Structure 1
């Protein structure tokens, strides 16, 4: 059963979702941008300890509160970790007023029909049970569109909604993330196909079923407004997708009702060696800018 206070915050509150969910493959890059090189850790455990320390520093920073950051997406190891002896999800909600989500996908399959579906998640039910027990509100799962291929896009949306129903069955809110690669030549065409496929699935879903959507910032402003307004959608959030923070914020501010769910754009400018005052000031300025862009839309 979803926490009604969390649900109301996710549906109605101004703000954005922080994506703190870099996993095994993307962690070394995230750490390098933070100023922690690969010679600072000698195995996977030490690497994840470094990224957990980075995330804990962000979460404990004075500006990182539910006033402007209404949700945060965690990697499984972050969910299983603690901050000051408190389970991460509980720390987020009880101490910071931020709704916790969990990244549940296991990465991408090889490209077929211009898309990369999600790899099988054989132990998903067990993970969802664990997440619910740890007071996680919802989940996020990513697949990628690399071409305006109608069959491929329909397959990717069908997979997202199918697993989304499984997640809803555990009382959790799924964020469906069929990401359109921002570098492809036929991006606008792919987004038109994606919108049609999502609308078809939403219209076919039970009237009382709601999901969240995480989408690339569209080439055509307000393309996804019909999804923002759809009764089957709790919230539409945008990924930064490789855009700089300034460009992501600019594009976001042209899309009414869409809020940010940025990862790299959130941590841009933060570094391991910064004194806390400089770190906190940089993060506060970043949070303000993403918050304002999320409200401007």
Structure 2
């Protein structure tokens, strides 16, 4: 991280592209892209195919710094290259787009209405690798399903504890306590989560900077005060299962909330499209998400 990058992420116009599908979600992403599971028979072949898909997105003229501030990468993407250049270097040097690394290793079984993050082994090695590849920040996801005070407190505490370790390594953490958009207690869970986030932000050392990745709130602009906290670089929103149209409509009603979409970003893209068709579809997607993000 440097001051130029921090300034860009703090005040630049645009959104974050989430290109971080891991082993569990990759087959679904490839299928949506028009590649069936019968097209590959090993994990390595699967990850090669998804890297081709991500490379095609990143190399597209539509994928540019005018609309996109950052991209979240899976570890395998960080370790691979685009046109002979490490992915994060390609993004920053050729596109002016910052890179984040997904570092969580999935979720524990549900307890107290939430799913905590699984332990992350070899954290120091992950941080070293991220810095070596010129990564700006990290992303780590938990899931809240019910408005359970004990569970929500545990999720937020775990997120911030990891976030402080990320910050100490010179990286900016994206803290992501996702709330299930289909939860029957979504609004109450949002209230509890926000209270816990405020407590954790207040306890941070003055120099520590974090980002928040949250489900789009039930009440418009509910997270605006979080965005104004001096510790918070940016508050970004996940699409969380909404269609791109619905996610954009909801996002546009929330000031100081920008997109960090994955599935919604790639909606409509297929392996079979010509370069012209692919770029046109991606351009329409990026334009709509950007417009919703700067509202």
Q: TM-score, normalised by structure 2?
A: 0.99
> Alpha carbon RMSD of aligned pairs, Å?
0.5
Flag as ranges the 4+ runs of structure 1 deviating above 2 A: none
Q: Please show how residues 276-295 of structure 1 align to structure 2 within 5 Å.
A: 276-295=275-294
Counterpart-to-counterpart distance in 2, 1:159 and 1:65: 34
2:18 corresponds to which residue?
A: 19
Cα shift at 1:210: 1.4
Q: Please show how residues 31-180 of structure 1 align to structure 2 within 5 Å.
A: 31-180=30-179
SS at match of 2:294: helix
Counterpart-to-counterpart distance in 1, 2:207 and 2:52: 40
Cα shift at 1:122: 1.6
Cα shift at 1:63: 1.0
Counterpart-to-counterpart distance in 1, 2:28 and 2:3: 37
SS at match of 1:125: helix
The count of residues paired between Structure 1 and Structure 2 equals 295
Q: Deviations over 1:81-102 (max 9, x none)?
A: 0000000000000011100110
Gaps of 5+ in 1: none
Gaps of 5+ in 2: none
Q: Please show how residues 208-247 of structure 1 align to structure 2 within 5 Å.
A: 208-247=207-246
Counterpart-to-counterpart distance in 2, 1:124 and 1:51: 25
Q: Deviations over 1:220-268 (max 9, x none)?
A: 1111111011111000000000000010000001111010000000000
Q: TM-score, normalised by structure 1?
A: 0.99
Q: Deviations over 1:68-115 (max 9, x none)?
A: 011000000000000000000000000111001100000000111100
Q: Please show how residues 258-269 of structure 1 align to structure 2 within 5 Å.
A: 258-269=257-268
Counterpart-to-counterpart distance in 2, 1:125 and 1:105: 14
Counterpart-to-counterpart distance in 2, 1:13 and 1:100: 15
Cα shift at 1:207: 1.8
